[in-house]
């Protein structure tokens, strides 16, 4: 059951933001860093090209407050922002003076186990335009659930590949519950967002993202026993 011990760093601020302000928060941090911004902060390599890999720095809303989640090499990059000590940011028309509330440095073992873990996954953007049509054409709920389970396994494999984690055993994933999906607009595109609970034999860090647009707060997971206290939106 070979896995990887992944470095995690979570910074939570005292400032409350709305979920829809997360992209503004991300943009404000990048703007504050200017030319000094690390590639890891925005998945951009210059000259209109992008890093097509798992985002190592993700902007979140945790307990209604702004937060930045860093994983792997993204942990080293966060020091650049904290060292800048320039925490006056513009979120649209709103000036926000960021104040750090807590920091959580830790390491998380990512590997498959004989047992399973229960997770809550919120605002999960599972479907692109192609598989959205396939999902809508499925009449039976059981078929839709199986379809989403396969997508979720794909998301987990993409995460592992992006983090260069060696997963030697089969990943097991089963949806336990699902709220009624809702339509959300991301960068002008309407997408279907899911809130689900699932179990998997893969151990995962709290607050990491799965699916599409995880860099701006979508698809955030928390292990079930932490959800009530630590993941209020």
What pLDDT score was predicted for residue 48? Answer: 42
96 and 180 assigned to the same domain: no
**pTM of the predicted structure, to 2 decimals:** 0.87
What pLDDT score was predicted for residue 35? Answer: 54
Domain finish residue from 108, 134, 164: 108
In the predicted model, is pLDDT for residue 182 greater than 90? yes
What pLDDT score was predicted for residue 43? Answer: 55
221 and 123 assigned to the same domain: yes
Domain finish residue from 69, 84, 108: 108
Domain count for the chain: 2
What pLDDT score was predicted for residue 150? Answer: 97
Residue spans of alpha helices (H) in the chain: 22-33, 39-42, 74-84, 129-137, 141-162, 227-230
224 and 154 assigned to the same domain: yes
Supply the range of the domain harboring residue 137: 110-230
What mean pLDDT is reported for the chain? 86
- Give the span between the Cα atoms of 147 and 179, in whole angstroms: 16
Average pLDDT score over residue span 83-95: 80
What pLDDT score was predicted for residue 174? Answer: 97
Confidence of residue 192 (pLDDT cuts 50, 70, 90): very high
Residue that has been written with the tokens 């503004």 in this structure: 24
Pick the more confident residue, 29 or 112: 112
Domain finish residue from 86, 108, 130: 108
Confidence of residue 86 (pLDDT cuts 50, 70, 90): low
For residue 43, count CB atoms less than 10 angstroms from its CB and return exposed for 0-12, middle for 13-18, buried for 19 or more: middle
In the predicted model, is pLDDT for residue 33 greater than 90? no
For residue 157, count CB atoms less than 10 angstroms from its CB and return exposed for 0-12, middle for 13-18, buried for 19 or more: middle
All residues at 6 or more sequence positions from 110 whose CB lies less than 8 Å from its CB, including other chains: 3, 4, 5, 6, 160, 163, 165, 202, 203, 204, 205
134 and 205 assigned to the same domain: yes
What pLDDT score was predicted for residue 200? Answer: 97
69 and 171 assigned to the same domain: no
141 and 95 assigned to the same domain: no
193 and 122 assigned to the same domain: yes
What pLDDT score was predicted for residue 65? Answer: 96
150 and 103 assigned to the same domain: no
Sequential DSSP letters for 48-104? TEE--S--SEEEEEETTEEEEEEETTHHHHHHHHHHH---EEEETTEEEE--EEEEE
91 and 14 assigned to the same domain: yes
């Amino acid at each position: 059951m070979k896995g990887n011990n992944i470095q995690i760093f979570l910074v939570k601020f005292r400032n409350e933001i709305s979920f829809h302000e997360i992209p503004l928060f991300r943009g404000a941090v990048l703007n504050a860093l200017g030319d000094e911004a690390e590639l890891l902060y925005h998945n951009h390599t210059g000259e209109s090209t992008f890093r097509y890999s798992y985002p190592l720095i993700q902007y979140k809303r945790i307990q209604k407050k702004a937060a930045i989640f860093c994983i792997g090499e993204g942990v080293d990059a966060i020091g650049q922002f904290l060292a800048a000590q320039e925490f006056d940011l513009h979120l649209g028309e709103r000036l926000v003076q960021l104040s750090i509330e807590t920091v959580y440095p830790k390491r998380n073992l990512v590997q498959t186990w004989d047992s399973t873990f229960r997770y809550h996954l919120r605002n999960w953007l599972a479907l692109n335009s192609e598989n959205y049509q396939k999902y809508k054409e499925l009449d039976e709920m059981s078929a839709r659930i199986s379809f989403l389970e396969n997508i979720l396994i794909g998301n987990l494999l993409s995460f592992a590949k992006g983090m260069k984690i060696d997963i030697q055993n089969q990943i097991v994933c089963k949806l336990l519950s699902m709220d009624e999906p809702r339509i959300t607009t991301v960068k002008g595109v309407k997408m279907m967002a899911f809130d689900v609970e699932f179990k998997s034999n893969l151990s995962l860090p709290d607050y990491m993202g799965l699916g599409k647009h995880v860099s701006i707060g979508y698809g955030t997971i928390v292990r079930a026993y932490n959800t009530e206290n630590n993941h209020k939106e």
